[in-house]
Amino acid sequence: MKRKSAVNRVLLALTGVVLLGAGLLMLAGGFDLYRRWNLRPPQDWPLSTPHAVLLGEAGRTRWTDEGWWWPVVIAALAVVVLLALWWLLAQLRRTHPGPLPVGGPTATDGVELREGALSEALAADVRRQPGVRDARVRMTGRADRPEAHVDLVLTPGSEPGPVLEALCEGPVERARRSTGRARLRARARLRVAPHKPHRAQ
């Protein structure tokens, strides 16, 4: 989740810098600042004077008489708009609960627990369980219905059944009680740690 947020921020920052730079260059050409301030526009930049255009008439009308031109343009614009809307909705949708009220969603004392602190505490508790070599936990869902996603790396030879039973009755139950919730959903994904194959004697 942290990596996804960091990638989103970097992409947003890069997009903003590119759009801001392009906008400033266009404004400089539109207000004729290159000539007034004796500035040199970027090489091959077409919008360096107030009357300059990005595409000349020949470029704009080159394919307009072709039958396939407008359907292709409309389809491309529709795809761009749909992708932009999908990305925007993905950013707006909360995929993690945020601060969790201790005592459950109906608690009124104002005490909250960071989801990262709960994830780290739960992962540390899971790592102490028999048959578990490593564990990572991330919280998803809403603040009133959080869900723990547990990635387990089992030691070679351990059985998934007892490990899952111990996970539910131990760390998950302790996390539920410590946060004062009536229920804490959990999903587990199990992997076995790499090990050398056993040879039959």
The DSSP-derived string for 107-144 is --S--EE-HHHHHHHHHHHHHTSTTEEEEEEEEEEETT
Paired residues of 153 in beta bridges: 134, 191
Which element (helix H / strand E) includes 190? Answer: strand 185-192
State which H helix or E strand residue 82 sits in.
helix 69-92
**For residue 8, what is the enclosing H or E element?**
helix 2-30
User: Given this model, what pLDDT does residue 55 score?
Assistant: 66
Q: Length of the chain, please?
A: 201
* DSSP category for residue 93: S
Q: DSSP secondary-structure letter at 189?
A: E
Within 8 A by CB and 6+ apart from 142, the residues are 94, 97
Looking at residue 77, its pLDDT comes to 92
Residues in CB range of 176: below 8 A, 6 or more apart: 182, 183, 184
Measure the N-to-C terminal CA separation of the chain; round to a whole number of Å: 47
Mean pLDDT of the 68-83 span: 89
Q: What are phi and psi of 138, to 5 degrees?
A: -135, 145
pLDDT over threshold 70, residue 8: yes
| Residue 65: band (very low, low, confident or very high) from pLDDT cuts 50, 70, 90 | confident
**Better pLDDT: 159 or 97:** 159
**pLDDT tens string 119-168:** 999 999 999 999 999 999 998 887 778 889 999 999 988 889 999 999 99
Instruction: Provide the pLDDT for residue 140.
Output: 85
CB 188 within 8 A of CB 167: yes
Do the beta carbons of residue 142 and residue 101 sit within 8 Å?
no
Query: What span, in angstroms and rounded, lies between the C-alpha atoms of 115 and 112?
Result: 9
Query: Given this model, what pLDDT does residue 18 score?
Result: 92
